[in-house]
Structure 1
Amino acid sequence: MTVEASFQLFLILLAVLAGTALLARRVDVAPAILLLLAGIALAFVPGMPSPELPPELILLLVLPPLIYSAAVAMSWREFKFNLRPIILLAVGCVIFTAFAVAAATHYLIGLPWNVGFLLGAIVAPPDVVAPLAVARKLGIPRRIMVVLEGEGLANDATALILYRFAVAAIATGLFSLPKAIGEFSAIVVGEALFGIAVGWLSLHARHWARDSQIEITLSLITPYVAYWLPEHVGGSGVIATVACGLYVSWNGPLLISAMTRLQGIFFWNLVIYLIEGLLFLLTGFQMRLLYERSKSFPLDDILIAIAIVTVMIVIARFAWTFPAIYVPRMIERIRRCDPAPPWQWAFVLSFTGVRGAVSLAAALALPYALPDGSAFPYRDLILFVAFGVIFITLVGFGLGLAPVVRWLGVARAGRNERFAELESEINARREALDVALKSLESITESRDLSEDVIRLLRARHETRSNQLPNSLDPDAQLLSAAGTDLTHELIEAERQFIHDLLRDGKITDEARRHIERDLDLEEASLANREFRCDVP
Structure 2
Amino acid sequence: MHHLDLLLLFLLVAVTALTVLAQALRVPYPILLVLGGIALGFVPGVPHVELDPDLVLLLFLPPLLFHEAFFASVRELRADARTIALSAVGIVLATMAGVAVVLHAAVPDLPWAVAFAFGAVVSPTDPLAAIAIARRQGLPRRLIAVIEGESLVNDGTALVAYGTAVGVAVGGTFSAPEAVGGFAQDVVGGVAVGLVAAVAVGWVLRRMDDPVLHVTVSLGAGFVAYLPAEQLGVSGVLAAVVVGLATGHRVGELSSPAARLQGAAFWDVLVFLLNAVLFVLVGLQLPGILEDQDRSAGTLIGLGLLVAATVIAVRLLWVHTAPYVVRALDRRPQQVARRVGWRPRTLLAWAGLRGAVSLAAALALPAGFPERDLLVFLTVCVILATLVGQGLTFPALIRVLGVEDDPGPLREEYLARKLAARAAVDRLEQLRAEPWTRADTIDRLQGLHEFRYRRAAQRAGWLAVEDGDEDLHERSLAYQRTLRDVLDTQRAALVALRDEGRVSDEVVHALVRELDLEDQRLEI
TM over 0.5: yes
Could you tell me which of 42, 66, 69 is aligned with 1:68? 66
3-state DSSP class of the match of 1:449?
coil
Contact 1:329 1:339 in 2 (8 A): no
Instruction: Quote the Cα distance in structure 2 between the aligned partners of 1:80 and 1:336.
Output: 13
Question: Post-superposition shift, 1:500?
Answer: 1.9
Instruction: Quote the Cα distance in structure 1 between the aligned partners of 2:72 and 2:514.
Output: 30
Question: Which residue pairs with 2:508 in the alignment?
Answer: 512
Identity in percent: 36
Instruction: Quote the Cα distance in structure 2 between the aligned partners of 1:72 and 1:458.
Output: 39
Q: Given residue 14 of structure 2, which amino acid in structure 1 is its aligned partner?
A: V
Is 2:424 the partner of 1:428? no
Instruction: Quote the Cα distance in structure 2 between the aligned partners of 1:248 and 1:169.
Output: 37
Q: Given residue 524 of structure 1, which amino acid in structure 2 is its aligned partner?
A: Q
3-state DSSP class of the match of 1:410?
coil
Instruction: Quote the Cα distance in structure 2 between the aligned partners of 1:463 and 1:476.
Output: 12
Contact 2:194 2:239 in 1 (8 A): yes
Question: Which residue pairs with 1:117 in the alignment?
Answer: 116
Question: Which residue pairs with 1:299 in the alignment?
Answer: 297
What aligned pairs does 1:265-344 form with structure 2 within 5 A after superposition?
A: 265-294=264-293, 296-330=294-328, 331-333=330-332, 337-344=336-343
String of CA shifts for 1:427-486, please: whole Å, max 9, x gaps: 3223212212222222332x32253xx423442443455464642699766654444333
Question: Which residue pairs with 2:38 in the alignment?
Answer: 40
Instruction: Quote the Cα distance in structure 2 between the aligned partners of 1:173 and 1:450.
Output: 75
Question: Which residue pairs with 1:400 in the alignment?
Answer: 393
Is 2:436 the partner of 1:449? yes
Instruction: Quote the Cα distance in structure 2 between the aligned partners of 1:131 and 1:170.
Output: 33
Contact 1:227 1:237 in 2 (8 A): yes
Contact 2:88 2:154 in 1 (8 A): yes
Is 2:196 the partner of 1:206? no
Instruction: Quote the Cα distance in structure 2 between the aligned partners of 1:402 and 1:269.
Output: 24
String of CA shifts for 1:19-41, please: whole Å, max 9, x gaps: 22222122211100000011111
3-state DSSP class of the match of 1:51?
coil
Instruction: Quote the Cα distance in structure 2 between the aligned partners of 1:66 and 1:198.
Output: 17
Instruction: Quote the Cα distance in structure 1 between the aligned partners of 2:184 and 2:123.
Output: 20
Instruction: Quote the Cα distance in structure 2 between the aligned partners of 1:207 and 1:335.
Output: 38
Contact 2:74 2:245 in 1 (8 A): yes
Q: Given residue 286 of structure 1, which amino acid in structure 2 is its aligned partner?
A: Q
1:479/1:442 CA distance change after superposition, 3 Å? closer
Q: Given residue 116 of structure 2, which amino acid in structure 1 is its aligned partner?
A: F
Instruction: Quote the Cα distance in structure 1 between the aligned partners of 2:32 and 2:184.
Output: 39
Instruction: Quote the Cα distance in structure 1 between the aligned partners of 2:254 and 2:495.
Output: 37
Question: Which residue pairs with 1:143 in the alignment?
Answer: 142
Q: Given residue 423 of structure 1, which amino acid in structure 2 is its aligned partner?
A: R
3-state DSSP class of the match of 2:522?
helix
Q: Given residue 208 of structure 2, which amino acid in structure 1 is its aligned partner?
A: A
Question: Which residue pairs with 1:84 in the alignment?
Answer: 82
Q: Given residue 441 of structure 2, which amino acid in structure 1 is its aligned partner?
A: L
Question: Post-superposition shift, 1:336?
Answer: 5.2
Question: Which residue pairs with 2:381 in the alignment?
Answer: 388
What aligned pairs does 1:84-233 form with structure 2 within 5 A after superposition?
A: 84-110=82-108, 111-233=110-232
Is 2:479 the partner of 1:492? no
Instruction: Quote the Cα distance in structure 1 between the aligned partners of 2:186 and 2:424.
Output: 47
Is 2:351 the partner of 1:352? yes
Contact 1:35 1:277 in 2 (8 A): yes
Question: Which residue pairs with 1:533 in the alignment?
Answer: none
Instruction: Quote the Cα distance in structure 1 between the aligned partners of 2:56 and 2:478.
Output: 46
Structure 1 alignment gaps of length 5 or more: 369-374, 531-536
1:441/1:326 CA distance change after superposition, 3 Å? same
Instruction: Quote the Cα distance in structure 1 between the aligned partners of 2:221 and 2:352.
Output: 30
1:464/1:40 CA distance change after superposition, 3 Å? farther
Could you tell me which of 370, 375, 389 is aligned with 1:377? 370
3-state DSSP class of the match of 1:48?
coil
Question: Post-superposition shift, 1:323?
Answer: 2.3
Q: Given residue 191 of structure 1, which amino acid in structure 2 is its aligned partner?
A: G
Instruction: Quote the Cα distance in structure 1 between the aligned partners of 2:91 and 2:442.
Output: 56
Instruction: Quote the Cα distance in structure 1 between the aligned partners of 2:440 and 2:372.
Output: 74
Is 2:238 the partner of 1:239? yes
3-state DSSP class of the match of 2:47?
coil
1:464/1:437 CA distance change after superposition, 3 Å? closer
Contact 2:18 2:29 in 1 (8 A): yes
3-state DSSP class of the match of 1:164?
helix
Instruction: Quote the Cα distance in structure 2 between the aligned partners of 1:90 and 1:432.
Output: 37
Q: Given residue 394 of structure 1, which amino acid in structure 2 is its aligned partner?
A: L
Question: Which residue pairs with 1:15 in the alignment?
Answer: 13
3-state DSSP class of the match of 1:441?
helix
Instruction: Quote the Cα distance in structure 2 between the aligned partners of 1:253 and 1:281.
Output: 36
Question: Post-superposition shift, 1:138?
Answer: 0.3
1:220/1:128 CA distance change after superposition, 3 Å? same
Q: Given residue 386 of structure 2, which amino acid in structure 1 is its aligned partner?
A: T
Q: Given residue 132 of structure 1, which amino acid in structure 2 is its aligned partner?
A: I
Q: Given residue 377 of structure 2, which amino acid in structure 1 is its aligned partner?
A: F
Question: Which residue pairs with 2:428 in the alignment?
Answer: 440
Instruction: Quote the Cα distance in structure 2 between the aligned partners of 1:384 and 1:170.
Output: 19
Q: Given residue 270 of structure 2, which amino acid in structure 1 is its aligned partner?
A: V
1:423/1:458 CA distance change after superposition, 3 Å? farther
Instruction: Quote the Cα distance in structure 2 between the aligned partners of 1:424 and 1:165.
Output: 45
Instruction: Quote the Cα distance in structure 1 between the aligned partners of 2:297 and 2:112.
Output: 23
3-state DSSP class of the match of 2:250?
helix
Q: Given residue 138 of structure 1, which amino acid in structure 2 is its aligned partner?
A: Q
Question: Post-superposition shift, 1:271?
Answer: 0.7
Instruction: Quote the Cα distance in structure 2 between the aligned partners of 1:183 and 1:341.
Output: 34
Q: Given residue 372 of structure 2, which amino acid in structure 1 is its aligned partner?
A: R
Instruction: Quote the Cα distance in structure 2 between the aligned partners of 1:485 and 1:340.
Output: 43
String of CA shifts for 1:60-118, please: whole Å, max 9, x gaps: 11011111100001011111111101010011100011011111112232122111101
String of CA shifts for 1:130-166, please: whole Å, max 9, x gaps: 1111111001011110000000101110110011001
3-state DSSP class of the match of 1:332?
coil
Question: Which residue pairs with 1:459 in the alignment?
Answer: 444
Contact 1:93 1:320 in 2 (8 A): yes
Contact 1:85 1:324 in 2 (8 A): no
Q: Given residue 197 of structure 2, which amino acid in structure 1 is its aligned partner?
A: V
**TM, length-normalised to structure 2:** 0.93
Question: Post-superposition shift, 1:393?
Answer: 1.2
Instruction: Quote the Cα distance in structure 1 between the aligned partners of 2:276 and 2:335.
Output: 43
Instruction: Quote the Cα distance in structure 2 between the aligned partners of 1:343 and 1:480.
Output: 41
Deviation larger for 121-130 or 456-465: 456-465
Q: Given residue 381 of structure 1, which amino acid in structure 2 is its aligned partner?
A: L
Deviation larger for 20-29 or 466-475: 466-475
3-state DSSP class of the match of 2:178?
helix
Question: Which residue pairs with 2:522 in the alignment?
Answer: 526
Question: Post-superposition shift, 1:188?
Answer: 0.5
Q: CA RMSD in A?
A: 2.0
String of CA shifts for 1:301-326, please: whole Å, max 9, x gaps: 32222122111111110111122333
Instruction: Quote the Cα distance in structure 2 between the aligned partners of 1:503 and 1:288.
Output: 52
